[in-house]
Amino acid sequence: MNINKLEKLIKLLRYYILVSTSKAGSGHPTSSLSAAELMGVLMFGGFFRFDFKNKENPFNDRLIFSKGHASPLYYSLFTVANAITENELMTLRKFGSRLEGHPTMEFPFTEVPTGSLGQGLSAGLGMALVSKFLNKTNFKTFVLLGDSETAEGSVWEAMQTASFYKLDNLIAILDVNRLGQSRQTMLGHDVLNYKKKAEAFDWEAIVIDGNSIKEVVNAYEKALKVKGKPVMIIAKTLKGKGISFLENKENWHGKALGEKDLNLALEELGKVDVKLRGKVKLPRKVVLKKQPVTSNLKPVTYSFGETIATRKAYGNALVRIFPKYPEMVVMDGETSNSTYAEFFAKAYPAHYFEMFIAEQNMAGVAFGLSRQGKIPFISTFAAFFSRAFDQIRMAQYADTNIKFCGSHAGVSIGEDGASQMGLEDIGMFRSLLGSVVLYPSDGVSTDKLTEEAAKHKGVVYIRTTRKETPILYKANEKFPIGGSKTLRESKSDKVTVIGAGITLHEALSAYEELRAKGIFIRVIDLYSISPLDNKTLKKAAKETEAIITVEDHHIAGGLGEAVAAALSGSGKPVYIMAVTKMPHSGKPDELLEYEGISAPAIVKQVKKVIA
């Protein structure tokens, strides 16, 4: 270990942090300066192992900046590692640059995009699971955390889960620089309090002066030897470290230095060698054995006359399709006997991880798994995915491949009442750029759509129903994403009724009743709510007088609004039937009736429309 060279490299990091943010005219230099030793020693002190010529090497260590606003330090590290040029560093925060305000997937070395605090440790946990249990690649995952973000509960979810799985390949580095955005953090510089908390969560805690190169070196040496539990290096640092008028001072968060201040700062920093570059250790291995793939799956075997809850069909589908998609990893938020993820847990226990009642962490772990080439399928009650909306929101920026399955959708769950009813989930998942939202109505379509989800690269949401429903489709029917099924159609169709999930069955009952009275309606199963089957919708708008949508969900962001927006140019009205009254406990049928989304309500609405 050449401490003298490390010193010079770290000084160069400080120089780049200051210069690049001043050039950008914004950014977070002081939050970057505090962690310069922590990251400089990690990268150039022989601890972090990474092959810059092959960033896809599955044995590479992983580095996540959970405090994403320290991106000037992050990009400076890669500059000093000679992975990007100084010229590129100076494009920081400019439109078109790969170096955005917070690390994004545009930057080639970003493991997961950060910027919404408290998410990085969960992603690191996902990677650590891959390294320890799934690929057994034995790399280390390092996560740089800010002290402010430990106020986020998601950090403690990850802490608890990481020690439950004894992830001794996960190393968190806590940069305790005392100052948040607008004031001192709750714990200030009380590093012993952080230590107490980390140890209570069954982590090994190493407390150091994080601005002392020697102490940082010792900490990594110690951390890499710990067995049987994750490690947190708790580093007391100074925000703005190295520049006296920034050091430990309030009101400098998120501010770049103007020209005068920059010159003062650089003068204080002293001479740096901008040609100096640091060396990063290579990983131990490069080749990973591929998982065997079975291309022929067992067929779907549901048949007419059977009934099965789509949530149960989801569990069966996971088991059926795994041999073809061996990168699948299934997780659940301690509801696996309700979502039926338990079928998979029993069939393939090595590929199932219980995530307990911590949905934010579950989504964050899925992030990390996905970034390592896995296909995570995660499930809980549809309502409880709202807990992880910020993580789900970030997933759209992460080039992720996560499959969410929300069971217990809508008022049709019955007696458990409103708190357990997913009534905003379609809107939530539709609101992501490029997301796929699937809502099967029977066992066959659930099975096929679960496989479509596995096949599709991206974020997919599958909405399942608690109640049993009859099989509607032949076992060999196909269900492409973006499609729909027209189940009832004739030349005499007056109105089109569109349903999905539980309401499709209500629509089919309404069809029977209306047909008996000589009124014909078209019935469409809109199993793909995003993307929409615009062609079929437009055809229906052309051939019938009006469209009625029926959904077990609130209006805003739901199936009805999606259809109304898609058909706004058609000249045909779209009548939205949805959950508009405060739901209560009761039998499923009582609640469908109460909310006006039952078969009788549809019959009434059709009659009103054609009157």
Q: Quick one: which of 263, 294, 337, 490 contacts a second copy (CB under 8 A)?
A: 337
Binding of a second copy at residue 384 (CB under 8 A)?
yes
CA distance readout (Å), 203 to 198, 223, 234, 255, 369 = 5, 11, 11, 34, 22
Calpha distance 210→37 (Å, rounded): 7
- Asked if 469 and 588 touch (Cβ cutoff 8 Å), the reply is no
Calpha distance 550→575 (Å, rounded): 9
Choices 283-291, 474-482, 486-494, 576-584; region in contact with a second copy by CB under 8 A = 576-584
- Asked if 379 and 314 touch (Cβ cutoff 8 Å), the reply is yes
Choices 39-47, 224-232, 439-447, 585-593; region in contact with a second copy by CB under 8 A = 585-593
Q: How far is the CB of 20 from a second copy (least distance, A)?
A: 13
Interface with a second copy in residues 520-559 (CB under 8 A): 530, 554-557
Binding of a second copy at residue 590 (CB under 8 A)?
yes
Cβ closest to a second copy, residue 217 vs residue 405: 405
Q: Quick one: which of 66, 338, 412, 503 contacts a second copy (CB under 8 A)?
A: 338
* Element housing 428 (H / E): helix 425-430
Q: Quick one: which of 8, 62, 93, 320 contacts a second copy (CB under 8 A)?
A: 93
Looking at residue 171, its amino acid is: I
Calpha distance 540→608 (Å, rounded): 19
Interface with a second copy in residues 196-225 (CB under 8 A): 196-197, 199-202
Cβ closest to a second copy, residue 135 vs residue 401: 401
Binding of a second copy at residue 424 (CB under 8 A)?
yes
Binding of a second copy at residue 600 (CB under 8 A)?
no
Cβ closest to a second copy, residue 158 vs residue 233: 158
Cβ closest to a second copy, residue 63 vs residue 562: 562
Binding of a second copy at residue 327 (CB under 8 A)?
no
Q: Which position has the token pair 């805690």?
A: 205
Q: What's the length of the chain?
A: 611
Interface with a second copy in residues 143-182 (CB under 8 A): 148-149, 151-157, 160-161, 164, 180-182
The residues, any chain, with a CB within 8 Å of residue 79's CB and separated by 6 or more, are 16, 85, 86, 88, 89
Choices 167-175, 263-271, 273-281, 566-574; region in contact with a second copy by CB under 8 A = 566-574
* 3-state SS class at 92: coil
- Asked if 32 and 16 touch (Cβ cutoff 8 Å), the reply is no
Is 359 designated active site?
A: yes
Binding of a second copy at residue 255 (CB under 8 A)?
no
Three-class HEC string of 40-85: HHHHHCCCCECCCCCCCCCCCCEEEECCHHHHHHHHHHHHHCCCCC
In terms of Cα–Cα distance, which of 427, 419, 413, 434 is closest to 383? Answer: 419
Choices 35-43, 424-432, 448-456, 520-528; region in contact with a second copy by CB under 8 A = 424-432
> Phi and psi at residue 207, in whole multiples of 5°?
-95, 130
Q: Quick one: which of 415, 512, 543, 545 contacts a second copy (CB under 8 A)?
A: 415
Residue 596: both structure tokens together: 């006006």
Cβ closest to a second copy, residue 54 vs residue 568: 568
Q: Quick one: which of 3, 186, 288, 297 contacts a second copy (CB under 8 A)?
A: 186
The residues, any chain, with a CB within 8 Å of residue 77's CB and separated by 6 or more, are 13, 39, 40, 43
Count of residues that bind a second copy according to CB under 8 A: 110
- CB atoms under 10 Å from CB of 326, counted, come to 16
Q: Which of 37, 111, 342, 359 is catalytic?
A: 359
Residue 163: both structure tokens together: 């020690």
Q: How far is the CB of 549 from a second copy (least distance, A)?
A: 10
Q: How far is the CB of 420 from a second copy (least distance, A)?
A: 6
Q: Quick one: which of 85, 291, 534, 580 contacts a second copy (CB under 8 A)?
A: 580
Binding of a second copy at residue 573 (CB under 8 A)?
yes
Binding of a second copy at residue 584 (CB under 8 A)?
yes
In eight-state DSSP terms, residue 90 is T
Cβ closest to a second copy, residue 557 vs residue 596: 557
Cβ closest to a second copy, residue 225 vs residue 587: 587
Residues with active-site annotation: 359
